[in-house]
Amino acid sequence: MIATEVKTHFGELKEEVNSVIEPIKLEVQKIEKDVAWIKEDNFHIQSIECRRDLILSGIPSNIRDSKALREIIIKIGSYYQIVVRPDEIFQCVRMKKDNQVLIKFGNLFTKEDIMKAYLRSKDLKLSHILDTNVESRVYLNNHFPHHIIRIILYCRRLK
């Protein structure tokens, strides 16, 4: 008698738990869809934001001042006969890798013009932008968000 009564109570508890679990599962699925959408939207925003960024390599590591780095960008522009105003450069900072500089442009067209000119010749040297006899190369690259870098590396492995 006690066993059957316990069984019926367990059955009732199981039904109550199941009735509570179903709405929670539906809510979790909805939240997962929202999170996936937000991640996708975030990737898109990062791609747009990073589109105005350049990575500059080959600049001496003793040049750390933001103002001096801006001057270098302006000189790169003048080397390629592109006018770069200081207010078009949003930010210049050294990255963790000491020989790289992240340049954030406020104007996408200025960045694109510099990259087009650089990719046409690929002959940028330190002596072109600084008063030095050092002929080492200076490199400009697009700055990609992490998810794009992963895709690029995956594609390289497929070759």
Given a cut of 60, whether residue 136 has pLDDT beyond it is yes
Q: Where does 53-158 sit in CATH, by number?
A: 3.30.70
Query: Which residue type is seen at 120?
Result: R
pTM of the predicted protein model:
0.65
Residue 48 is predicted with a pLDDT of: 59
Distances (CA, A) of 138 to 17, 73, 95, 125: 66, 12, 16, 5
Span 3-23, average pLDDT: 81
**Which of 43-47, 93-97, 145-149 has the least mean pLDDT?**
43-47
What phi, psi does 118 have (nearest 5°)?
-65, -45
pLDDT in tens, 25-67: 888 888 888 888 877 777 666 555 557 889 999 888 888 888 9
Given a cut of 60, whether residue 108 has pLDDT beyond it is yes
What are the domain boundaries of the chain?
Answer: 1-50, 53-158
3 state SS of 45: helix
For 1-99, strand residue ranges (E) read 53-57, 89-94
